[in-house]
Amino acid sequence: MIFKGSAVALITPFNENNEVDFEKLGELVEYHIENNTDAIVACGTTGEASTLDDAEHLAVIKYVIDKVNKRIPVIAGTGGNDTQHSIYMSQEAEKFGVDGLLVITPYYNKGNKSGIKKHFEAIAASVKTPIIMYNVPGRTCVNMSPALVAELAKIDNIVAIKEASGDLAQVAEIARLVPDDFAIYSGNDDSILPLLSLGGSGVISVLANVCPQETHDLVYKFFDGDLKGSRDLQLGMKPLIDALFIEVNPVPVKTAANLLGFNVGGLRLPLAEMDSKNVEILKKELINWGLNVQEETC
């Protein structure tokens, strides 16, 4: 298992020129380690990987690996809709010493069942690093069936799935079919606890960007047998989670980070500023959860 608990899907900070702000990135890494985040995912969807060029993408991955320095696992987002490019990015991340790879199902060209299977097989064969498959039909218009997940779970270095279908019946069927040592991670912050109850190992979380300790605690209270404590956190943070997804991710969470004084900069087009009404909803839920919203933000 690459990690157990809460992995943050880390935002990528930009400076005033909309370039990667590596100093701020280092501050975020330290913040998460200090607040008990269990692993860091660099260059996932929340990290705006789709608008990072290859040099930036790999530089962010290497920087995070070096900054973390083996204190917690680092997982690199290296998937895409071009198998050969995914292989290249995965191999480069492996050279840096990454602990795991997060590989999304191909999007836009989508792929049929045999194509998706061959896609993951080819990437897995090209590296030795453990792979987490990422199933997120809402973004890719592709849903990995439990049977396909179980087939791919037989490959030695395909060790987990980030499941963001939102279908708990599907999660249950995956859990029934895969080996006991195959990890299932929630890709939805609003249903971490239900997935844990089906045998999940944790979450790859957007929420953890602003609530790292609470997201860690939600998972570990469940593992420690404090079901009420875990449930109270899941339900208590539900309004904030909803606000963090009131617009397409990562627009709200990056806005939230700025509202909390992290000064992570803006977004890259085609992502742009939140609607002002939605910002007010987000502010309200941050304050309701007891977070310190700054009057002036970057």
What are the catalytic residues? 134, 162
Pairwise CA distance, residues 278 & 295, whole Å: 17
> Residues near 19 by Cβ (< 8 Å), separated by ≥ 6?
none
User: Is residue 14 within 8 Å of residue 268, measured between CB atoms?
Assistant: yes
Burial grade of 205 (CB within 10 A; 0-12, 13-18, 19 or more):
buried
The span from the CA of 74 to the CA of 238, in Å, is 27
Strands 202-205 and 158-163: unpaired
Nearest CA-CA partner of 171 in 141, 192, 142: 192
CA distances from residue 15 to 2, 10, 34, 269, 298 in whole angstroms, order as listed: 32, 16, 24, 15, 10
β-strands 202-205, 74-77: how paired?
unpaired
Q: What's the rounded Cα separation, in Å, for the pair 155 and 141? A: 24
How far is residue 120's CA from residue 124's CA, in Å, rounded to a whole number?
Answer: 6
